[in-house]
A and B are shown apart, each in its own frame.
Chain A
Amino acid sequence: MSMKKISKTGFGEFITHIINTDGNVYGVQAKTEAKGDRFAFGPLTSADDLRLDYDVTLSPPKKYLLPPKETLVKYEVGGGYESSICKCKSILIGVHPYDLVAIKQMDELFSQDEYDTHYMTRRRNTTIIACDVAKASPNVFASSMGTATVTDGYDILLTDIGGAYVAHAATEKGEALLTEAAPSAGDATEADIAARKAVQDKNDTGLNQHELKCGPADIPGLLEKGYDSPVWEEKAATCYSCGSCNLTCPTCYCFDVQDDVAWSLKEGARHRAWDGCLLENFANVAGDHNFRKKREARYRHRLYRKGSYIPKKLGGEIACVGCGRCVGACLPDIANPVAVYNQLLEETK
């Protein structure tokens, strides 16, 4: 697939073309009402609003693939059920490599064993224009997790090399879009490709505000020994059980399912909504028995999902991509996975 160079002025035209020709275009923009530089994915209406120099978004782009609330089925009360599957096409612009890794993991989890048509239809109708990280966020540790750069998982990857972007199309969909929206873009020169590599090399080591003192592949082994470690109780002692770590995580995908009916009481819909394993009643069963009543058990469960349980479903890949969102979202500052894994490493020495 091709590697093109798009000048900064040409880039505006490229984005404008995409906005004008496709329905749902979402891109990273500044949260203007927020104090300081904070960013979020949102509907993009002007190329000028796109901020590919962002560090991290408040929520991961998973909200477009697994919305906070979505309808699964519609029904007539006492009658039949009908699937409600969203077939909208959309383009996401500005997805960072660590979020791409998370999306790839979700693709696998939602398609393996039982195929989730709701997630997968959205996913297949989504085009991803990714970008290499231009600025490290305060808590990113993607370099530690090996997710700072990627070679696949996107349709187009943009790398800011100073005066221009290098755009790599990795799929036919990306190739077609690049040809259509940036017709004047020429092939990247060897120097451009070297500049792109320099950016990626820098990120491979430089997105590391919290340093994991082992390789990600060592985490399952650490957890195998660490089930009864004091770290769980220590950390969970000040856990609010507020689920902020779950809700900001690009690899959390647990959900709750609820019904609601129209005022006619004759028809309604079944929805799923984001849930979080840190929330107190997550493991409740009918009759109010809670199988994970203790804060430390819920706290431990999250770290084990990331470092042991989900990796078993992913052929070993760790389900923490080092975006650092949970670290920033946790008010008592106990959510940092690196701190936990490093402490386990110390304990097992």
Chain B
Amino acid sequence: MSKPRVAIFDFACCEGCQLQIVNFEEEILDLIGAVDVVEWREAMSEQSTEYDIAIIEGSITRPEDAEKLKTIRERASILIAIGACATIGGINKLKNNFDLDEVKEYVYGEDAKMPHLNTEMTMAVDEVVKVDYKIHGCPIDNQELAYAIRCLLMGKVPVIPDYPVCVECKSKENVCRWEYGEICIGPITRAGCGAKCPSASFRCFGCRGYIDNPNVDAARDVMEKHGLTAEDLKSKMVLFGSKQGPTI
């Protein structure tokens, strides 16, 4: 069997998830031993129109990006969205909370109407095309991506956690961030990160998106018990949770 051809594309993002692929270091030799990387703007100059697996970083904020993504989808048999911008819209979706003209005005000032600065409401990749697999996170955990690619090479559906961050946080023996008076949204956020933030003494910011069935009543109850309001909670969810669609 010939090696699957992989192409990596980026849209609106900080390219930090691609950096996570670069961060494979020696392991990148294993990766390119298993697949042919045929396009990857951040690391090579070659381009290709023929590939089996497309890896998409970033969210879609311009009509021409949506068209480009649709073309990629037609060419790839498997499409993987990587990173919060691609899987849930991520931080880019903050702007969807505001009037688009106001956003443009605020960011670009008098250039707001220039055609090359045209921007529209942010979409996650699956709001434009069908996504086969999502590797969540801001940034992604490169070992999770590596695992998912190996699964696909084996013909197996990768097992991406569907339980909250608390599971991993508890096995790391972290003290709950709520005990520090922080509004941690780990209990409603999909795990898989290994509870990196709480393990580094930060609350969970929710970058992997919500679990399938978060208990809203529990969240309300916990906020009340801590003398906080639903608005307080929402203020912590807005960074990654704005207008979020399904995460699976």
Contacts and interface: CB of A to CB of B under 8 A. Distances in A.
Interface in A237-266: 237-244, 247-248, 258-261, 263-265
Interface in B103-160: 146-147, 150, 153-154, 156, 159
A31 B180 CA distance: 15
Contacts, number: 104
A33 B178 contact: no
Contacts of B179: 35-36
A34 B175 contact: yes
B3 to A, nearest CB: 11
Nearest to A256: B159
B31 interface: yes
Nearest to B153: A265
B36 interface: no
Contact of B166 (A244, A261, A263, A265): A244
B173 A40 contact: yes
Given A279-B167, A331-B178, A240 B150 contact: no
B33 interface: yes
Which of under 10, 10 to 19, 20 to 34, or 35 or more describes the interface residues of B?
Answer: 35 or more
A234 to B, nearest CB: 12
A249 to B, nearest CB: 10
A238 B201 CA distance: 26
A280 to B, nearest CB: 6
Which of under 10, 10 to 19, 20 to 34, or 35 or more describes the interface residues of A?
Answer: 35 or more
A276 B161 CA distance: 13
Contacts of A237: 217-218
Contacts of B175: 31, 34-35, 38, 58
B34 A280 contact: no
Contacts of B102: none
A332 B163 contact: no
A333 interface: yes
A210 interface: no
A200 interface: no
B241 interface: no
B142 to A, nearest CB: 13
Contact of B34 (A240, A241, A244, A263): A263
Contacts of B54: none
A83 interface: no
B163 A280 contact: yes
A261 B150 contact: yes
Interface string A8-52: 000000000000000000000001011110101000000000000
Contact of A243 (B33, B166, B188, B217): B166
B238 interface: no
A295 B225 CA distance: 21
Contacts of A244: 166-167, 170
B162 A281 contact: yes
A59 interface: yes
A263 B170 contact: no
B144 to A, nearest CB: 11
A200 B225 CA distance: 36
Interface of A: 31, 33-36, 38, 40, 58-59, 68, 77, 237-244, 247-248, 258-261, 263-265, 274, 276, 279-281, 295, 329, 331-333
Interface of B: 27, 30-31, 33-34, 146-147, 150, 153-154, 156, 159, 162-164, 166-167, 170-171, 173-176, 178-180, 186-188, 201, 211-215, 217-219, 221-222, 225
Q: Closest 4 interchain pairs by CB?
A: A263-B30, A242-B166, A247-B170, A238-B218
